[in-house]
């Protein structure tokens, strides 16, 4: 909260910030993992700049990161977490309403729907899973350099592939497959080569296909990458364990 207060004092002294200045400050806070401070600043921005897709998709992003770290051991806590994911969806949906050509708005609507689907069980909410795919495809069509949308597509294919195609066919989810998962993960890595999660999930997908040497290459690189997400340190530790597990394969 101190970061917000200091930022607001500086802006007041300068006669008020521009939207771009606010967005930059919010992104800086987010990348320092100060999610609650970023959220408060974005809420203020949403009041000052209503119907800004750039503000709204960022609200969706930070809401999801906060929800990811909420306690979920009781039914009441789980309900609160699901509500937060729904709020993230609503922000992204509003961003699309504000700007139907905003790639990141579709990306974070897909991401929020993906969280909701995982929460409820992806095979019990097939229409939501299909919307995740559709939003990712739309996001990539709008911006072919959208690494996050590519990653979400890879993740969706991976989760679907955990069940046999015969089981998924009646649900309309037979399209999920490991080859496409790897293809989308690889594309995400090419577009953003220093994001730990992209390489980690690519490595796991390669291991599932018995492509151990290629997986080792990804896992070894992870140790050299910066920590850009709250979970990166734990993923780096898991990467070391995975390397040991496949050492002789």
- Give the residue from 139, 238, 123, 115 showing the smallest Cα distance to 187: 139
Q: CATH number of the domain at 75-179, out of 1.20.120, 3.20.20, 1.25.40, 3.10.50?
A: 1.25.40
Q: Output the pLDDT for position 20.
A: 96
Cα 232 from Cα 222, distance rounded (Å): 9
DSSP codes joined into one string, 49-68: STT-HHHHHHHHHHHHHHHH
Structure tokens belonging to residue 55:
């503000």
Cα 249 from Cα 244, distance rounded (Å): 10
Q: Report the predicted TM-score, pTM, of the whole model to 2 decimal places.
A: 0.92
Strands (E), 23-179: none
Domain edges within the chain:
75-179, 192-249
Distance from CA of residue 100 to its chain's centroid?
20
User: In 3-state terms, the chain is what percent helix, strand and coil (to 5)?
Assistant: 75, 0, 25
Distance from CA of residue 4 to its chain's centroid?
24
As a whole number of angstroms, the longest Cα–Cα distance in the chain is 64
pLDDT per residue, tens digit, the chain (249 aa), is 444 545 544 544 455 789 999 999 999 999 999 999 999 999 999 999 999 999 999 999 999 999 999 999 999 999 999 999 999 999 999 999 999 999 999 999 999 999 999 999 999 999 999 999 999 999 999 999 999 999 999 999 999 999 999 999 999 999 999 999 999 999 999 999 999 999 999 999 999 999 999 999 999 999 999 999 999 999 999 999 999 999 998
- Give the residue from 220, 221, 223, 224 showing the smallest Cα distance to 243: 220
The radius of gyration of the chain from alpha carbons, rounded to an integer in Å, stands at: 19
Structure tokens belonging to residue 130:
């299909």
């Amino acid at each position: 909260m101190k970061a917000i207060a200091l930022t607001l004092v500086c802006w007041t002294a300068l006669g008020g910030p521009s939207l771009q200045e606010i967005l930059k400050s919010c992104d800086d806070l987010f990348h320092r993992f100060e999610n609650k401070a970023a959220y408060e600043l974005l809420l203020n921005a949403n009041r000052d700049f209503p119907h800004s897709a750039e503000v709204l998709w960022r609200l969706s992003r930070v809401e999801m990161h906060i929800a990811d770290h909420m306690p979920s051991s009781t039914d009441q806590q789980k309900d609160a977490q699901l509500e937060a994911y729904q709020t993230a969806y609503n922000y992204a949906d509003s961003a699309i309403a504000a700007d139907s050509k905003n790639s990141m708005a579709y990306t974070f609507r897909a991401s929020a729907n993906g969280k909701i689907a995982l929460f409820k069980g992806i095979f019990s909410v097939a229409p939501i899973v299909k919307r995740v795919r559709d939003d990712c495809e739309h996001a990539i069509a709008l911006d072919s350099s959208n690494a996050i949308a590519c990653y979400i597509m890879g993740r969706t294919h991976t989760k679907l592939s955990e069940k046999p195609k015969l089981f998924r066919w009646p649900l309309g989810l037979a399209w999920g497959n490991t080859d496409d998962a790897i293809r989308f993960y690889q594309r995400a890595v090419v577009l953003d080569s220093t994001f730990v999660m992209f390489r980690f999930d690519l490595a796991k997908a390669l291991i599932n296909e018995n492509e151990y040497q290629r997986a080792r290459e990804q896992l070894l690189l992870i140790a050299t990458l910066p920590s850009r997400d709250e979970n990166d340190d734990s993923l780096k530790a898991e990467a070391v364990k995975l390397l040991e597990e496949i050492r002789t394969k």
